[in-house]
Chains A and B, each alone.
Chain A
Amino acid sequence: MYKLSGVTKNYQKGRDTVHALRGVDLVIEDGEWLAIQGRTGHGKSTLLMILGGLDQPTSGIVEFNGQDLTQLRETQLTAVRAASIGFIFQTFNLVPTLSAQENVETALAPQRIAPAQRRTLAARALEEVGLADRARHLPSELSGGQQQRVAIARALVKEPKVLLADEPTGNLDEGTRDDIIGLLESLWRERGLTMVMVTHDSSVARRAQRLGIMKNGRLSIKQDTRNDTSTNDTGSNKAMDASAG
């Protein structure tokens, strides 16, 4: 799905240059679940933004399905996101003035689908996340967990190839966190999604097939259970060779 070669990202902060990513090499296979951990400010979310085409690297190549995202114009990147990439954010990022169903419909708006069909697809997506009865509620009328479910429905309604999640359980309590991760995991399995998740939570990270650690802009793979036939639900930790970035 993804192939990153020598990706760097630098920011100018006043007189200083911040090296957010330093030569990251990474291959993400189709249907893989990659979790990325690391301390704040070490480049996790920057990497996620680059994977999603929301930001461009300073140098390097980002291949997505054989297409180099660094060579695309803004409108082309937006079109790729519209068709193939779903996002989930820590703060849910729902439009406060739209209902749950209308928020899900916003993901379908760029695809020129007839309004009636759009409503049907949105309703179905909400049903899949268990919120069919909350379709008309505004985000302010939903709990944190419910809002994140709406966000998941919004991310998946267009049937993307990739789901990028930035701290999806960061603002949730423990019980709700487990619900959400469980939901994501089941959707990942059912749909054969490629999922990349940034998280601080080790218990969440351990559930992924692969765990990468971002430190000072460099990525190292700590865990890789892709070829392990046993399930990884309990978070068993197999040490593997790291591929330094």
Chain B
Amino acid sequence: MFFTYLRRELSRRRRQASFIVMGIAVGIGLVITVTAAAAGVKDAQGTVLHSLYGVGTDVTVTQKATAGSGAPAGFRVGGGSAKAGTKFTRDNLVGAGMGTLKASSVSAISQLKHVSAAAGGLTLTDTRLSGTIPSSTSGGFGAPSGGGGGSSSFKINSFSVDGVDLSAGKVGVLSSGKITSGHTFYTSEANSDDALVTSDYATANSLKTGSAVTIAGTKFTVIGIVTVPAGTSSADMFIPLARAQALAGLKGYVNTIYVAADSASNISSVSAEISSLLPKATVTTSSSLASEVSGSLSSAGSLANNLGKWLAVAVLIAAFCLAALLMMAAVSRRVREFGTLKALGWQSRRVIAQVMGEALAMGVIGGVVGVGLGFGGAGLVDALAPKLSATAGSPTAASSGGAGSFGPGGGGGGGGFSKLAASAEHTVTVHLTAPVTVEAVLLAVLLAIVGGLAAGSLGGWRAARLRPAAALGRLE
């Protein structure tokens, strides 16, 4: 009787029921799509972190650069008076605008609770200045490449170098790379002059396995070509950490520590422990990185979490309010019917159950349709896979290592070159996805049930208050 009556009644009010169902479905669909998009943004943020610091890295530790920190830097073109017309080439390997940490911190961190792995790294920039000493006697040097007095020209080339800990395992920048030619480092090559070159840099500079490259004036042999995830602003070359430390004058120092937690739920506690161990260090997790990321990924995250979430909530509330109003209106139209049923001996609770059953049925149907719409919306986001960019960090002047100075024999003429700017900024491009989780679907179904019950309860309350005599319209 209950289900027959329910089914027939919904069928009779098909148009109204469809209206209610679609309202609920749109609200539920929005909730699922927004939840999926938010999950996709979170995944993308994780991808950004992994792209920057390698898959498997949960926490990174860095230090803000201070004046005079970092490797000593400077270009000196020989001692004594350099003759005009003398050709020179100088390599300068300096930290990339980052402060340094003692390498011993790596082992201290690896012994912390819930840390499964830790490795240190050095992110450096090699700047090569080459040219000819100008013949001008008025002092000063013009700008590179043809400026200034006399016939001189200077060229500046730079590339980035990462010193990698060969015992890093699955932590560190190299962990996200794939060897496409040659081989990666062997642990026995910790002090060798071997280098891995990224495929983009190799192509641009016509390098291959076996080629020679010069880093800080030292010749290295390319042992392999590595492909890193597209869009990562990672190093152009990788060399063993010990060699990087030696060439940059940073023995016993690193400027990034990569840490892996034993589980995702312990990342926060690991982060807190490291902050406690190294109070002056900057400890970054993927969630804290999210707050520092700028770019369209950040905007998408804000959109999903703020506007998207509140839009979904608003639509759901509107849908449930509409359902409640329509249910009350339906009960008002069925006053005589319910009065008759009460006259036949139906208790109020039976009448209420009938009304709530109808509302719940519409809620559940709306929820099912809404889940379908949600999957559709999430699928659309997956299909479109919009590209989002994320920029982490900020440009810094290379105050570390001191200003570059130029001059014959140590004298410094006036003028000069602008300070070398080294950037600690990384930009990553990711494709947004929208994974629908089981939790999102269950939440949606729960919302639909609760909403249906809430809407039905108002109609049921209206039905319960009916006096049979009044309902039958006999107020004579």
Contacts and interface: CB of A to CB of B under 8 A. Distances in A.
Given A97-B11, A102-B4, A110-B346, A49 B341 contact: no
Interface in A1-34: 11, 20
Interface string A17-55: 000100000000000000000001111111011001011
A239 B92 CA distance: 131
B350 interface: yes
A44 B345 contact: no
A242 interface: no
Interface in B346-395: 346-348, 350
Given A97-B11, A105-B1, A44 B476 contact: yes
A83 B345 contact: yes
B341 A106 contact: yes
Given A20-B476, A41-B476, A97-B5, A79 B12 contact: no
A96 interface: yes
B476 A95 contact: no
B15 interface: no
Given A43-B476, A54-B468, A97-B11, A87 B350 contact: no
B343 interface: yes
Contacts of A43: 476
A215 interface: no
Contacts of B5: 95, 97-98, 102
A97 B9 contact: yes
Interface residues of A, number: 41
A40 B11 contact: no
B204 interface: no
Interface string A156-191: 001000000010000000000000000000000000
A93 B12 contact: no
Contact of A54 (B8, B11, B336, B343): B343
Nearest to A49: B469
B342 interface: yes
A91 B469 CA distance: 15
Contacts of A41: 476
B289 interface: no
A81 B345 contact: yes
A42 B344 contact: no
B8 A166 contact: no
Contact of A109 (B1, B11, B340, B343): B1
Interface string B324-347: 000000000000110011111111
A154 B344 contact: yes
Interface in A80-102: 81-83, 87, 89, 91, 93, 95-98, 102
B9 A87 contact: no
A83 to B, nearest CB: 7
A75 B345 CA distance: 9
A25 to B, nearest CB: 20
B472 interface: yes
A107 interface: yes
Given A54-B468, A55-B467, A55-B468, A45 B474 contact: yes
A78 interface: yes
Tell me the interface secondary structure of chain B in the complex.
helix
Contacts of A42: 476
A74 B464 CA distance: 11
B67 interface: no
B438 interface: no
B340 A93 contact: yes
B264 interface: no
B474 A46 contact: yes
Contacts of B475: 11
A82 B8 CA distance: 24
Contact of A107 (B342, B345, B468, B476): B345
Given A93-B336, A95-B5, A166 B474 contact: yes
A110 B8 contact: no
Contacts of B340: 87, 89, 93, 95
B476 A46 contact: yes
A98 B8 contact: yes
A230 B343 CA distance: 35
Contacts of A111: 345
A77 to B, nearest CB: 9
Interface string A203-228: 00000000000000000000000000
A106 B11 contact: no
Contact of B472 (A54, A75, A98, A105): A54
B342 A78 contact: yes
A48 B468 CA distance: 12
B344 A49 contact: no
Contacts of B11: 97
A93 B468 CA distance: 13
29 contacts: A11-B475, A40-B476, A41-B476, A46-B474, A48-B474, A49-B469, A54-B468, A54-B469, A54-B472, A55-B468, A55-B469, A75-B347, A75-B348, A78-B346, A83-B345, A89-B472, A91-B336, A96-B12, A97-B11, A98-B4, A98-B5, A102-B1, A102-B4, A105-B1, A106-B341, A107-B345, A109-B346, A110-B344, A154-B344
Interface of A: 11, 20, 40-46, 48-49, 52, 54-55, 74-75, 78-79, 81-83, 87, 89, 91, 93, 95-98, 102, 105-107, 109-111, 115, 118, 154, 158, 166
- The 7 A-B pairs of least Cβ separation, nearest first, read A82-B345, A97-B8, A55-B469, A93-B340, A54-B468, A45-B474, A110-B345
Given A82-B344, A97-B12, A110-B344, 17 more contacts: A41-B476, A46-B474, A49-B469, A54-B343, A55-B467, A75-B347, A78-B347, A82-B345, A91-B336, A95-B5, A98-B4, A102-B4, A106-B1, A106-B346, A109-B346, A110-B346, A111-B345
